[in-house]
Amino acid sequence: MNDAEREGASPSAADPLAQLDASEQASLVARGELSAGELVEAACRRIERVDGLLGAVPIRLFDEAIELARSGESAPGPFAGVPFLMKDVGARQAGQPYYAANRALMEADHRAAADTPLGARFRRVGLVTVGKSSAPEFGLQSNTWPLVYGPTRNPWDPRRAAGGSSGGACAAVAAGLVPVAHASDGAGSIRIPAAWCGLVGLKPTRDRVVWRHAGKGRPDVEFVVARSLRDTAALLDALRADVRSARAGEFGAALERPVERLRIGVLTEAPGEAAVDPDCRALVLEWADRASDAGHFVEAGGPASLCEYAERALHGAVLGPIEYRACLDELEERLGRAAGPGDVEPYLWELSQLAVGTSPAAAAAAMRWNEAWVARTLSFFEDCDVLLTPTVAEPAPLLEALDPERHDPLALLEKMVPHMAFTEPWNATGQPALTLPLGRTRAGLPIGLQLVGRRGAEARLIGLAAELLARSPEASRARPPIHA
């Protein structure tokens, strides 16, 4: 990478389609102004031309995507013909590589035997998968630097992190390679990279998009990351698990419906010891004032349970390694053999070994404490409709600070935990949380405002988000220096 590229110079020959969100691209196909094949071919060219600066799309499925789009056999859904990226962790589509950024799965060329339910739903709404976005191994980090692919760079400053674990998805959408991409969120993995890359990122209510009957209470959810709130609402309507609900279309309708007077809490101090960047704090206070000016009742404060950080961390030290061990179990199932330290990155291996010796009684006690903590946290929202926080306590850090080959696993984890201070609690409670690209640091880096709502209240969050974005329309139109 030359000096101009490191400073963010965009490649030449910009594509006007890269400026359009998924709804606009779909409307071109629906009106017959462009074919699905033309849309998909243009996206493939953008990836070829720009992704060398980012490292966002390590797996490319161009031939299959172009053939599908040209054949007219893609589903005639609301996003028919729109180019799309699947994340290399989570939902799968039949026949496509599924490596989870793991060397052993890559060497075995592991492929999905069938669509997962969400993978099938992506097809049904008409999205055409042109590639798979980068993620950390098994999606376990708040930055995207898998050893098999290398780092994903932030299009606002390629010296900086794109975030994780949906870092490849966010870098690609922010740079205009595709208008929307699959993403997942177990502790902030949609919202952290969306905030650092200047995007809209919604973590839906648990089970809104993917039902996990066997894993009730799991913190991870899957959805998409998007450039526009309009796409976010439309795709939530299209992808919701209860698609036959009598409330179908409610999220798109929320964009236009007047917002009732809300009770809004404001939290600017991070749980634990994470220091909050002054620009991130100022962003929240600025938009709290704007919400008050719009007629909402705004009051400082958040759930008192967030102050129980030290005790919660102790229980997390019991349950976290069990989750890492579960990733090894998944790998062993796919490989058909036992996994050893040479099959995974040191980060996963060393942290998974901390689960050895954890008794079932200790794990059960930690889970009971967490369930009680969730109940205490949810009680705050009996008198609060929406909580405003920074999405992340700081803007995107320099990549070198998160280099997995320069830091041992525990040191790397310690560096990443503060990134999740404002995001992870809502994975535990199952509440919806939405990051909006409503600010920049004095150095010009994007930072996000997070809106947290009651369980099932995505429509309220989307309505408030639309009201806030209308007060700063230029915020969502900003484009990074590296853009197609």
- The SS3 assignment for 240 reads coil
Phi first, then psi, for residue 264 (nearest 5°) are -115, 125
Burial class (CB in 10 A: 0-12, 13-18, 19+), 250: middle
Report d(CA 315, CA 306) in Å as an integer: 14
Q: Count Cα neighbours of 344 within 13 Å in the Cβ-side half-sphere.
A: 28
End-to-end CA separation in angstroms for the chain: 17
Closest residue by Cα to residue 443 from 396, 402, 479: 396
271 and 306 Cβ atoms separated by less than 8 Å: yes
Cα–Cα distances (Å) from 360 to 214, 235, 243, in that order, read 19, 40, 38
CA distances from 43 to 61, 72, 183 (A): 11, 17, 18
- Collapsing DSSP to helix, strand or coil, 428 comes out as helix
Q: Which residues are catalytic?
A: 87, 165, 189
What is the C-alpha to C-alpha distance for residues 28 and 81, in angstroms, rounded to an integer? 10
